[in-house]
Amino acid sequence: MLDFHILGTRGTTAVCSSEYLKYGGSTTSFRVKTDEGFIIIDAGTGVSRVAKEIGELATPLPITMIFTHFHLDHLSGLPSFNPLYNKNAKISIMADPRRNDNWRESLTTLIGKPYWPIGIGEADATMEMKNIPVDDDSFSLYGIDIKWCNVPHPQQCLAFRLSDETKSIVIATDVEFDIDRVSHDFIEFCEGADHLIFDAQYTPDEYKQHIGWGHSTWEVATYIANKAHVGQLLLTHHAPERTDDEIDKIIEDARSLFKNTGAAVEGMKL
Ligand SMILES: [Zn+2]
Ligand SMILES: [Zn+2]
């Protein structure tokens, strides 16, 4: 069974105030647990939730962290991710080898002096950095099938589709589509998914001022949800200033275009 939790839903930067309690203030991270291991997609500040869960296990399970891309809101929870400092932990980090940057070097630079007191290469855990096998169509990890799709976003980004015999979930956390130019490949990638978690950082009005910033709107999200016949749409990458009440209003508007729309909530289980 695809045991999936949403750990962080906020875009750009973490926020903390009583106005954000319902949907959460931690940045993007998702986790899957199977009998064989943990898969973590992105390590925004929400990743600390799964660190706690991993720390409470009697027998350690291997951990694979797969990155959509390396913007800080998807990475800022990694330096303080507790399993890095546990000598019994086994952690693999995976990313797209087609990236224009050298992602291993970028990570090693960021998680090390002077930005952080312990370099990622000095972590106590057994670490490896691996490429996503992009020449294949998909790969299987701990019993979960994983597919990927390039999506438009500054400095490159991937969307992932995770599935097993019980359900399929598309994670498209940072992606910019203009409603008139949604890629056919992406719609096909989402076709029939049980859950589509999609970037809706901007309202349609805000988007006009943020073309090229890498994020979409709830209108685009509902358009894709309809075209791809998904079961449920969950809006995510909530703008840092977006209050709970404003997200409630966005969901109401989005439901007029795609009925089974909700918003990603920190701690949500699918
Ligand atoms: Zn982001
Ligand atoms: Zn980004």
How far apart CA 173 and CA 148 sit, in angstroms, is: 13
Distances (CA, A) of 185 to 66, 149, 159, 181, 250: 22, 8, 12, 11, 27
Domain that holds residue 62: 3-263
16 pLDDT more than 90: yes
**pLDDT for 201:** 98
* Amino acid in the structure at residue 218: W
The answer to whether the CB of 35 falls within 8 A of the CB of 23 is: no
Phi–psi pair at 245, nearest 5 degrees: -60, -40
Ligand nearest to the CA of 73: 1
Centroid of ligand 1 to alpha carbon of 28 (angstroms):
7
pLDDT, tens digit (0-9, with 9 covering 90-100), for 126-162? 999 999 999 999 999 999 999 999 999 999 999 999 9
59 pLDDT more than 90: no
Centroid of ligand 1 to alpha carbon of 120 (angstroms):
22
72 pLDDT more than 90: yes
DSSP conformational letter for 166: S
Look at the block and give the residue holding tokens 């909700």.
262
Judge whether 188 lies within some domain. Answer: yes
Q: How many domains does the chain have?
A: 1
209 pLDDT more than 90: yes
User: Mean pLDDT across the stretch 11-30?
Assistant: 97
Judge whether 269 lies within some domain. Answer: no
Which percentage of the chain shows pLDDT scores above 70? Answer: 100
Centroid of ligand 1 to alpha carbon of 30 (angstroms):
13
Centroid of ligand 2 to alpha carbon of 92 (angstroms):
22
Centroid of ligand 1 to alpha carbon of 32 (angstroms):
20
Judge whether 27 lies within some domain. Answer: yes
Judge whether 270 lies within some domain. Answer: no
Output the domain CATH number for residue 152: 3.60.15.10
Centroid of ligand 1 to alpha carbon of 223 (angstroms):
21
Centroid of ligand 1 to alpha carbon of 59 (angstroms):
33
Centroid of ligand 1 to alpha carbon of 215 (angstroms):
8
1 pLDDT more than 90: no
pLDDT, tens digit (0-9, with 9 covering 90-100), for 181-195? 999 999 999 999 999
How much is the pTM? 0.97
Near ion ligand 2, which residues have CB within 5 Å?
Answer: 71, 174
- Start-to-end CA distance of the chain, whole Å, equals 11
Near ion ligand 1, which residues have CB within 5 Å?
Answer: 11, 73, 174
Judge whether 195 lies within some domain. Answer: yes
